Structure 1
Amino acid sequence: MSRLIYMGFKLLEPYEGKLSRTVLRGESGSNPADLPDKAIASPLMASYLVYMYKTVRKFWGEAIVVTQELGDIIGNAIVKDSIIANSDTICLLDQGKFKENYAQVSTLLSLNAAEQRKIFTINALDNKSGRSRFKEVYIRRGLVGEVYGVEVSLRQYLTFSTEKPEKRALEYYISREGSFHQGLESFIAEMESSGLSLDAFVKKVNHSL
């Protein structure tokens, strides 16, 4: 392993603790460790990022960068020039709250008017009747993208849900039944027999605790 790649991995070591404390153990992320944005934003990292992207592409791979803040994209020249310029695929979640101030993002990501119209349909259409819970995502590879629904079964959704009320209600059933599998099955069976929606059933369970 080259020293350059080793240095890149070393930057991420402090964040293993954050992962284990929040995602893996299900604890709140209200006071997580800072992500390595300062290190990535350093001019010293610019050449490394370009090198990394070109190396990954050489081996038919694709580096993935995830951000929750548009400011991470707009306000950082290093990220903009080194990452976005070398990204072949772009995935966007609901952008509705940024609709009134989307000029910078659309220019940066080369989103024409037709693509922007697609993006602002994310989770905004009346297309949920008769379907399981799902969220939509815009995926663009090349110049044209589409909006896709990410739809999973109720069992899958509850298994990976990070919503505190849902986790609390499910944990009650797991504790009562003695195992995750039995608790999940019991939760779903009682919810379906109640005729309530998931949100209403979760509120009912938590209210009784």
Structure 2
Amino acid sequence: MSRLIYMGFKLLEPYEGKLSRTVLRGESGSNPADLPDKAIASPLMANYILYLYKTMRKFWGEPIVVTQELGDILGNAVIKDSILASSDTICLLDQSKFRGNYEQVAKLLALNEVEQRKIFTINGLDNKAGRGKFKEVYIKRGNIGEVYGVEVSLFQYLTFTTEKPEKTAVESYVARFGSYSAGLEAFVSDLRSSRLGLADFIMQVNAE
């Protein structure tokens, strides 16, 4: 067994324990597996995921398969023909980088031209004015899907942002006020009273 597949099974050990403790007892909840990169592409791992998938569905669980690689789906018969075909809900993030070669994906996901046009509007429309930062996602149930904006509160956004200028500005407030919660409260309060946009306020804080 390759080291990568072994690592994949080691990561799934606590997940399988969670499966036995929750889904097999009839409790509800979603249980996404935490997989290492590329492990899903191996036939051995794919069949293991299929076993988990069928077991969860049998006991009314909600299996979730997540991948960032189209090849994981298109190049794996188990994923393509068994798991994906039985998925009740499909969620897609920005697909613009695949637009020039989308025929296989569209056929696999049963996406007609109308649905594809919806997908390629993700994060592409001029609809940001007067709103907080948000990303869009396409959610399909049955034959029809829609694009939704996923927007969190300013506090949540600033807590989990990975943008370095934003993190640096927030951290300067945290250092000044002694705790993360106090620093974040002060940061948001000053931002709102400044009447500046977030980007301009960040630049002002980092320039001080």
Question: Given the two structures, how large is their TM-score scaled by the length of structure 2?
Answer: 0.77
- Unaligned regions of 5+ residues in structure 1, if any? 1-6, 14-33
Q: Give 3-state SS (helix, strand or coil) of 1:98's partner.
A: helix
Give the Å deviation of 1:139. 0.5
State whether residues 11 and 36 of structure 1, in contact with CA within 8 Å, keep that contact through their aligned partners in structure 2: no
- Secondary structure of the 2:135 match is strand
Partners in 1 of 2:141 and 2:47 — Cα distance? 24
- More deviation in 139-148 or 71-80? 71-80
Alignment of 1:86-97 (within 5 A): 86-97=86-97
More deviation in 114-123 or 194-203?
Answer: 194-203
Name segments (4+ residues, structure 1) moved above 4 Å. Answer: none
Q: What RMSD over aligned residues (CA atoms) do the two structures have, in Å? A: 2.4
**Percent pairwise identity:** 68
Aligned to 1:199: 199
SS in 2 for 1:79: helix
Quick one: structure 1 residues 66 and 125, their matched pair in 2 at CA, closer, same or farther if it must change by over 3 Å? same
Give the CA deviation at 1:9: 5.3
Q: How does 1:57-206 map to 2 (within 5 A)?
A: 57-206=57-206
1:46/1:82 contact within 8 Å kept: no
Residue-by-residue CA offset, 1:185-206 (whole Å, 9 max, x unaligned): 1111222233321122222322
Q: Is the 8 A contact 1:139 1:147 kept in 2?
A: yes
Where structure 2 has 5 or more consecutive residues not aligned to the other structure, the ranges are 1-6, 14-34
Equivalents in 2 of 1:144, 1:152: separation in Å?
A: 25
User: Which residue of structure 2 lines up, in the alignment, with residue 35 of structure 1?
Assistant: 36
Total equivalences in the alignment: 182
Task: Return the TM-score normalized by structure 1.
Answer: 0.76
Give the drift of 1:36: 4.5
1:48 counterpart residue number = 48
Aligned-residue offset at 1:74 = 2.5
